[in-house]
Amino acid sequence: MTSTSIGELFHNERFPSGPALVLLMLYLPVGVILAVLRLFIGLHTFFVACILPKPSLFRHVVLRTMCGILGVIITREGVSNVHRRAKVLVANYTSTLDHLAIDLIMPNVLPSVWDLPPTLMWMLGYKDMEAKRGRDRLIQNAKKHIQYSPLPLLSFPEGASTNGRVGLLKFSVWPFSMDCPVQPVVVKVKRPRFANISPSILGGRWWIDIFWFLFVPFTHFHIRVLPPMSQDEDETVEEFAQRVQQTMAKALNIEATAHTSSDKVEYAKQILFIQPQTAAGQSSQYSPDSPPGGSSSSDLMIRQVQEVLPHVPQDAIRKDLALTKDIDLTITNILEGRVQFSPVAPSVNEPVTVSPAKTTVKSTERLSSPIQVASKTFQRSSQQRHLSLQDRKKLLIDAARQRYLEKHCGNI
């Protein structure tokens, strides 16, 4: 279906190169002042957006104007395609503010995937549909929402942002399992040539994305509403999702790829984690490095901890990560027994512990005192650790030698 490599789907660099970069440097002072001014205006806009009721015309006009001042220009196309019964909006995901831009054209609700406090969630237009508690729960809650709320549900089935230039990621199927028609919406983001900063980059953080939104003179969102689509009778949900993906890709004049959002996470790890490490040398590798991946960073952190400690359940990791916000600290906490959990998948674990267990039993039964060379501390610097390791090795050999000589005295 696709020949596009995953790397082409994302921007790695925030800034353009060549002559465009020179123009950007000239624009820099203006941009910084603009960003600061807009930050304050933006806060006001944010509160206005919270206070005014969602589907009102007044809110729409006020917000469009204020967004214009903030440099978010929105144009729309195909509004006649908006269908009252299509309660699920399906959009491609290119930047942090896509949700806001679509919201201004078609007020909607976005199921939240983060653990935000309820007030903040309400202010941002998110709705907690318990996505964290599993897909079934999300679908159940979303269906309920569709039935009772006048506002449509917005979804980004790609699950991760792309640069919107080359291809769409493979769609997740949940928005298509609602038993109701979906309204495809395609978003194109453009910035002026002299300040062509990528709206989202691989591993970028949302607040940095927002800063650049305020920095550039304007960002143009072109939102095109496509006619609603519904699932055919002889079509599976997967096929339906794929058909919508292809329709949207065609509308954007890009490719519908088979890469998934987890492929993106893997790719981001490759690019952001391995390459800088090999380049920067190994000494800096153990510093608490927060992972790449922007919005899904907490999931990514959990995954990384799980790769190291696969027997620890996700919930326990998430809880501790929420406190430490640091992979290494959490790993240390778990290893040192400060995190309570019941291990998962013990079935894989058990058979192997049988044979080593025998040895440990044997060694505790021994009459002579065991040679255990434990270090009291785990040194911070690699040199000290190395010295400590050398010392312990020598200690072990010396002790073994001495014991041997004691035992076999007569033989020597």
Partner 1 sequence: MAGSALKRLMAEYKQLTLNPPEGIVAGPVDEENFFEWEALITGPEETCFEGGVFAAKLTFPSDYPLSPPKMKFTCDIFHPNIYSDGRVCISILHAPGDDPMGYESSAERWSPVQSVEKILLSVVSMLAEPNDESAANVDAAKTWRDNRARFNEIAHQTVRKSLGL
368 lies in the binding site for partner 1 (CB under 8 A): yes
For position 342 contacting partner 1 by CB under 8 A, the verdict is no
- With binding defined as CB under 8 A, does residue 282 bind partner 1? yes
| Residue span binding partner 1 (CB under 8 A) among the ranges 85-93, 94-102, 135-143, 368-376 | 368-376
Q: Which of 108, 261, 304, 333 binds partner 1 (CB under 8 A)?
A: 304
Q: Does the footprint of partner 1 cover residue 262 (CB under 8 A)?
A: no
Q: Does residue number 338 form part of the binding site for partner 1 (CB under 8 A)? A: no
- Give the interface segment with partner 1, choosing from 109-117, 231-239, 242-250, 392-400 (CB under 8 A): 392-400
Q: Which of 76, 165, 269, 318 binds partner 1 (CB under 8 A)?
A: 269
By the rule CB under 8 A, 409 interacts with partner 1: no
Residue whose CB is less far from partner 1, 234 or 406: 406
Query: Among 273, 318, 319, 326, which residue interacts with partner 1 (rule: CB under 8 A)?
Result: 273
What's the token pair of residue 398? 């010396």
Q: Which long-range contacts (CB under 8 A, 24 or more apart) does 242-246 make?
A: 242/171, 244/90, 244/171, 244/176, 244/182, 244/184, 245/157, 245/168, 245/170, 245/171
Encode burial over 370-408: b for 16+ CB neighbours within 10 A, e otherwise. eeeeeeeeeeeeeeeeeeeeeeeeeeeeeeeeeeeeeee
In terms of Cα–Cα distance, which of 105, 144, 110, 104 is closest to 125? 110
Q: Check: CB of residue 258 under 8 Å from CB of residue 158.
A: no
**290 belongs to the binding site for partner 1 (CB under 8 A):** no
Please say which residue, 260 or 388, places its beta carbon nearer to partner 1: 388
> Which region among 34-42, 113-121, 130-138, 278-286 touches partner 1 (by CB under 8 A)?
278-286
Secondary structure of 75-94 as H, E, C letters: EEECHHHCCCCCCEEEECCC
Q: What is the CA radius of gyration of the chain?
A: 28
**DSSP-assigned states of every residue in 292-328:** S-GGGHHHHHHHHHHHH-TTS-HHHHHHHHHHH--HH
Residue of the chain from 82, 173, 309, 329 that contacts partner 1 (CB under 8 A): 309
What is the residue-wise DSSP string for 110-133?
EEE-S---HHHHHHHTEEE--GGG
210-242: burial string, b at 16+ Cβ within 10 Å, e else = bebbbbbebbebebbbbebbebeeeeeeeebbb
Interface pattern 217-256 for partner 1 (x via CB under 8 A): ----------------------------------------
Q: Does 265 bind partner 1 (CB under 8 A)?
A: no
* Binders of partner 1 in range 170-209 (CB under 8 A): none
Tell me the CA distances in angstroms from 183 to 57, 104, 108, 270, one per residue in order: 22, 16, 12, 35
In the complex, what is the shortest distance from the CB of residue 338 to partner 1, in angstroms, rounded to a whole number? 14
- Shortest spacing between CB 400 and partner 1, in angstroms: 5
Residues that bind partner 1 in the complex, under the rule CB under 8 A: 269-270, 273-274, 277-278, 282, 285-286, 289, 304, 307-311, 327-328, 331-332, 335, 345, 348-353, 355-356, 358-360, 362-363, 366, 368, 370-378, 382, 385-386, 388-389, 392-393, 396-397, 400-401, 403-405, 407, 412
